[in-house]
Amino acid sequence: MPQEKIRLQKIIADRGLASRRKAEEWIAAGEVSVNGETAQLGDKADPDTDRIIVRGKPLAAAQGNVYLMLHKPRGYITTMSDERDRKCVAELIPDVEQRVYPVGRLDKDSEGLLLMTNDGNFANAMLHPARHVPKTYRVTVHPGVTDEQLAQMETGMVIDGRKTAPARVRVLTEEKGRVVLEIVLYEGRNRQIRNMCEQLGLEVARLRRIAMGSVRLGMLPPGKWRELTPEEVRRLKEEAKPKDKPHKKRRGSAG
């Protein structure tokens, strides 16, 4: 019995070439063809029988799923290549045989946990706004924070005309002119923490992602990577489900 045809963007994402959104951009730009015909958005194909060309190259055969954790250092951008010849996270995983791509982003000046995979369904589940997979950051700011500023970050702030989702914020350490915060976000807006802090008059001195869901960066050194354990992958998939809105937390110790 022939396999039911699948949308092209899902096929491309499942093979680890790009996210579904990026695949849709390639299709819209005419960079994908099926059996010699330029594909259109909405087209479907059978990955086992149809000849699919993506950006001039035949679609690679299906590979086993790979799940990695990379400790991204500052100064690297979260892409696999860059036309401006900037340092990319791809340079940090040269010994990974399978083609993987980042799950979400960390900006150039941020550091910490970055998941990478060739499993498109997993990546989409981790990033889907309805799934609310928490992302935990350790953020050093200057000069200091007030309870009112903490409350604004927790309840949501209007950035670029749209209110941010509620977050969890607590003070880990506090000294004159310097505060270390733990911030847990439930959405993935671009540069969200930096934009929130800037709006509150706070300077971000350091921003490091230390966890996604229940999976933590731990002692993995900057620039190094490791495979996720099957248990970590299982937990992340379980956590990638719709959640109730988070409760606010007051100042507290690092605990």
Show which residues are catalytic. 107
State which H helix or E strand residue 9 sits in.
Answer: helix 8-14
With contact defined as beta carbons under 8 Å apart, do 128 and 44 qualify?
Answer: no
Across the chain, the runs of DSSP E, i.e. the strands, are 6-7, 32-34, 37-38, 44-45, 52-54, 57-58, 67-72, 101-102, 111-117, 135-142, 158-159, 162-163, 168-175, 178-185, 203-212, 215-216, 225-227
* 230-239 and 120-127 helices, crossing angle to 10°: 50
The helix/strand/coil state of 115 is strand
